[in-house]
Every structure is written in structure tokens, then in C-alpha cells.
Amino acid sequence: MARRPVIIDTDCGIDDAQAVMMALAAPDIQVLAVTCVFGNTSVENVCQNVLKVLTVCERQQIPVFRGCGGPLVGARKPVSDHFGTDGLGDVLEDQDPQEKKIQKEHAVNAMIRLVTENQKQVSLVALGPLTNLALAVRLDPGFPQKLKDLYIMGGNMEGKGNVTLCAEFNFAMDAESAYIVLEEFLCPTHVASWEYACRNALTWEFFEELMNQDAPAAAFMKTITSKCRAYSKEALFNKRDVYFGPCFVSYDAYAMAACIDGSVVTERIECPVRVELQGSISRGMMALDRTNELKKSHSVFVLTKCDVAKFRQLLMESVRQPRT
């Protein structure tokens, strides 16, 4: 059976790294490229983080492309430091940047080229702010129709944000791009929202089992999650609600799992959505139009429940010996 071509667009933080490993471990997935965008850290750090993940998984032949370093419009926003200044917990030994291994072609141009060469075949998995995707449709308005499908980790269903009062991080970092993508990408689109991940969370006991597998990828993940895990324990002791919370949630992995195996998703809502741009406290919020008030021509699939056992299995496979 031919492997399904996938492009991963990422702002490679810790959960992105887990999602990339999941794709690399899937026997029927061919990662055509990894395109990088700002978000968890600067786009320069993102490129280096992706190269580190590919090296650990012995998949250095996969091309890595540098993309947008800030939002589509407006001033560049400060990146998150939740995963450390480097996006991977500031725990890895300093290494010389592998600049020569980053492709010269811009990520957006590469994305358009690869999808045009493989029309209706490529699944695009977007794990960070959607700036590269929005720029792609501006450069090539036919780009979305050339995709097989699109999987997004981002947005929220109920107006509860994790970085602002009403918005999820990826959409808040570039609300205009999120708006453009959800308005103009007419290919089948699957949104793994913040709530979807939180409500299908895993136990910390499973996390410990995952990190203690006897494999290089597991050792790598254990290292880069060490500070976040320690911070989580302190936060729980002080009864504060933080990113890692009372459960283990590898946010970006939920979108990747849906791409790899559609049966992981057991329930979804099909409806039009729109990203709010004007609200003083709701900018970046994703609104679900369940009553067709917007009269939009297309809907998206907003994921709501997953088969947690299958998801756990995909995570476990992601940290075991890499497959080539």
C-alpha cells in the first residue's frame, strides 16, 4: 500500500515534537516536508528544533523549510516562553545551529510546490499559528483545492481561552491568518480544538510509562518535558490551573492522530465556523455556527471525542524505535 503524503507545518515546541514523532512512526505516512512558523519560539529556533527531532528519529532526509517569523499583518508578537526560550524546555546541550540543513526555499513556496506536484493527495497538518497557510492561499488562491485535507490544532469551541480570555494560543498569535484559513480553505478541514484535547486527556501514570520506554525518542521526550513536568507538580500542589494541569495533554498530537487514523475520532461537529477579529476581549476566538446564521458555503469538522486507547497506542509507537 502506498504511503499517504503529509506536510507538517509547525512551531515546534514540546507537544509539536511529540506530534512529529507520531507521524514519523506511522507506517503508512510519508512526511514530504516540515515547514516552520513562529509561535512557541522564534522561527529560527523552530527550524533547529525540527532538525533535532528528525535527528533523534534518524529521519534527517526529510526537508525542513523556514517560514513566517511573525503574523500576517500587524506587529510581531512576543513568542511564548512556556516551553522555554528555545521551545524545547531550555534543557538540551548547546549545539551549533544546523543552518546548512535548512532548505533555501521559503516554506510557503515549498508548500505550494509540493501540493501542486501531488494534487488531491497531500494532507496538511498545521500545529502552530496559521500564517504560512494564509500566505499560501494569498500567493496561490487555488492552493486549498489542491489539498486532500487539512488538520488544524487550534481554536476553541466555547469561548474559553488559554492565553486570552476567549482565545486559544495558535489562533490568538495570528487571528487574521486563522480567519483566512477557515474562510478560504474549502478542502475537508478537521479542527482539534483546545477543549477537544483537554477533554480527552491522559493520566500522568501513562506519561511516566511513555517517557520511560527504552528508546532514543522516549529519552529525548523525557529530557525536554522535564522542566514542564516539574512546574506542573508545583502548580498542582499550589492548586493553580496550568498548561499541563491535572492530566497529561499533548495538544498537537491530537490533530496528528486524527490525520494518521481517522477512527481515533469518535465524535465530531460538522458546522460552519468563523474567527472573531473585532471583539475587544474575543479577538481570535473561534465561533461555531450551529444554526447557519452566517450562511456560509462550507463547514468544517470540529472534533469532540476520541478513542483514547487508540490515541495512547499512537503515542506509545511514536517514542519507540524509529521506522524508515
Better pLDDT: 96 or 255: 255
CA-to-CA separations, 162 to 82, 135, 169, 229, 241, in angstroms, rounded: 12, 25, 6, 18, 10
Q: Are strands 265-271 and 286-288 parallel, antiparallel or unpaired?
A: unpaired
Q: What is the layout of strands, in order, in the sheet containing 102-103?
A: 102-103, 64-66, 29-36, 4-10, 123-126, 149-153, 189-192, 300-306, 265-271
Answer yes or no: is pLDDT of 211 > 80.
Answer: yes
Cell match 486563522: residue?
Answer: 178
Residues 274-299: tens digit of each pLDDT: 999 998 899 999 999 999 899 999 99
Q: Is 156 helix (H, G, I), strand (E, B) or coil?
A: coil
Phi/psi-derived region of residue 74, left when phi > 0, alpha when psi is between -120 and 50, beta in every other case: left
72 to 69, 105, 113, 168: CA distances (angstroms): 9, 19, 20, 17
Residues forming beta bridges with residue 191, ordered by sequence position: 152, 302
How many whole angstroms separate alpha carbon 188 and alpha carbon 147?
A: 9
pLDDT digit string, tens, across residues 178-192: 999 999 999 999 999
pLDDT value at position 74?
A: 79
Q: Helix 43-56 to helix 216-224 angle, to the nearest 10 degrees?
A: 150
Quote the mean pLDDT of the chain. Answer: 89
Q: Which CATH architecture has domain 4-201+249-319?
A: Alpha-Beta Complex (3.90)
Residue 236 confidence (pLDDT)? 43
pLDDT at 247 over 90: no
Average pLDDT over residues 294-322: 93
Residue 44 CA to its chain's centroid (Å): 17
Report the range of poorest mean pLDDT among 65-79, 155-169, 221-235.
221-235
pLDDT (mean) for 74-92: 62
pTM for this predicted structure: 0.93
Report the pLDDT value the prediction gives residue 240, as an integer from 0 to 100: 42
Per-residue model confidence (pLDDT) at position 94: 64
Return the C-alpha cell found at 59.
Answer: 529521519
pLDDT at position 82: 59
The confidence score (pLDDT) of residue 85 equals 66
165 forms beta bridges with none
Sign, Cα dihedral of 191, 193, 195, 199? positive
> Which residues are 248's β-sheet partners?
202
Q: Are 226 and 89 in contact (CB under 8 A)?
A: yes
Per-residue pLDDT of 248-268, as tens digits, reads 889 999 999 999 999 999 999
